[in-house]
Amino acid sequence: MYTGWRNSSPDNLIILAAAPRTDVFRETEVDTPGLSHGTYWYYSPDTSIGFSAYPNIYQTPCDDPQTQDDTQRLCWHANWTPGYLSWGWRLGSIDHLNTDLWNGNNGSLYTRAIYQHN
């Protein structure tokens, strides 16, 4: 399960989606998500990781919708340092989290989380 929230309001998740671990972390070709539990998941290790309610994603390198609703998307860059995920790009309609982090703004105002069944 992937989710995220604004640190000042941790009880209000901005977006959340869940699917079996094998589907969530299945490597996909860029812009080619796989459908699981009603959500399109993608994991392109050299690009980004995330999900969308829509099959059309634009990993440039993170999902940047051009015509579809952006509130149903989450994307984190995965291509900066091996084994490291940056602050991310998109948390629902909130985007530019990496850019804002470098500018001292949004990135540190949000928390992201990946949960798995034990």
Question: Alpha-carbon distance 51 to 70, whole Å?
Answer: 11
Instruction: Decide which of 99 and 2 is more confident.
Output: 2
95: pLDDT strictly greater than 90: no
Report the pLDDT averaged over residues 68-86.
75
- Evaluated on CA atoms 57, 61, 66, 69, the torsion sign reads positive
Report the pLDDT averaged over residues 52-72.
84
Question: Alpha-carbon distance 10 to 6, whole Å?
Answer: 6
- 102 pLDDT tier (thresholds 50, 70, 90): very low
| pTM for this prediction | 0.85
State residue 22 phi and psi, 5-degree precision.
Answer: -60, -30
Report the pLDDT averaged over residues 31-40.
97
70: pLDDT strictly greater than 80: yes
Question: Alpha-carbon distance 104 to 47, whole Å?
Answer: 24
63: pLDDT strictly greater than 80: yes
